[in-house]
Structure 1
Amino acid sequence: MEQVLRPIYQERASFPDTLGVILVEKRRKDDPITDTFDAILLIITTDDEVPIFTKHYTDGEEKAVMHIISEKQLHKWLLLGSKRKVVDWLFYGKVYFDRNEFVEQLRSEMWEYPFYGRNMKMGLELSKLVRGYIEGKTFFEQGSHMDAYHHVVESLHHLARLAVIENGLFPEVTVWSQVKKIDPSIYKLYEELITSQEPLEKRLELLFLASDFFIHNRTADGARHIMDVMMEKQQWTIQELYEQEELKMYSINLEVFIEFLVEKGFIQVVKSDSKNEWIYHRDYRVE
Structure 2
Amino acid sequence: MEHILRPIYQERAGDPNTLGAILVEKVDELSPTTDNFDSVLLLLVKEAELPIFTKHYTYNNRITAMHIITEAQLRKWLLLATNKKLVDWLYNGRVVFDRNEFVSTLRKELKDNPYYGRSIKMGIEFSKLLRRYQEGRVSFEQKNFFDAYHHMSESLLHLARLSIIEEGNYPELMVWNQVRYFNAEVYRLNEEFIMSSESIEQRLELVFLATEFMLNSKMEECSVHILRVMEEQTNWSIQQLHEQEELKNYSINLEVFIEYLVDKGYIDIERLETKTPNVYHRYYVVHG
| TM class by smaller structure | over 0.9
Select between 215-224 and 150-159 the one with higher mean Cα deviation.
150-159
Distance 1:48 1:179 in 2: 37
Match in the other structure for 1:106: 106
Deviation at 1:32, TM superposition (A): 2.0
Alignment RMSD, CA only?
1.1
- 1:98-137, aligned counterparts within 5 Å? 98-137=98-137
Match in the other structure for 1:204: 204
- 1:69-108, aligned counterparts within 5 Å? 69-108=69-108
Deviation at 1:133, TM superposition (A): 0.5
Alpha-carbon contact 2:31-2:37 (below 8 Å) kept: no
Distance 1:109 1:56 in 2: 30
Match in the other structure for 2:269: 269
- Asked if 1:22 corresponds to 2:3, the answer is no
Deviations 1:60-88 (A, max 9, x none): 32211000111111111111122111000
Question: Which letter maps to 2:123?
Answer: G
- Asked if 1:42 corresponds to 2:42, the answer is yes
Alpha-carbon contact 1:51-1:70 (below 8 Å) kept: yes
Distance 2:135 2:85 in 1: 27
Alpha-carbon contact 1:125-1:158 (below 8 Å) kept: yes
TM-score by length of 2: 0.97
- Determine helix, strand or coil for the equivalent of 2:55: strand
Select between 92-101 and 140-149 the one with higher mean Cα deviation.
140-149
Distance 1:18 1:282 in 2: 48
Distance 2:167 2:84 in 1: 17
Alpha-carbon contact 1:48-1:71 (below 8 Å) kept: no
- 1:1-287, aligned counterparts within 5 Å? 1-286=1-286, 287=288
Percent of matched pairs sharing the same residue: 55
TM-score by length of 1: 0.97
Deviation at 1:28, TM superposition (A): 1.8
Deviation at 1:100, TM superposition (A): 0.7
Distance 1:216 1:48 in 2: 43
Deviation at 1:11, TM superposition (A): 1.3
Distance 2:48 2:206 in 1: 48
Q: Which runs of 4+ in 1 moved over 4 A?
A: none
Distance 1:141 1:191 in 2: 24
Q: Which runs of 5+ in 2 are unaligned?
A: none
Deviations 1:250-286 (A, max 9, x none): 1110111101111111111111211112111111111
Deviation at 1:3, TM superposition (A): 2.5
Deviation at 1:130, TM superposition (A): 0.3
- Determine helix, strand or coil for the equivalent of 1:173: coil
Q: Which runs of 5+ in 1 are unaligned?
A: none
Distance 1:61 1:195 in 2: 42
Distance 1:278 1:233 in 2: 26
Distance 2:61 2:192 in 1: 42
Deviation at 1:216, TM superposition (A): 0.9
Alpha-carbon contact 1:164-1:170 (below 8 Å) kept: yes
Alpha-carbon contact 1:48-1:72 (below 8 Å) kept: no
Deviation at 1:48, TM superposition (A): 3.0
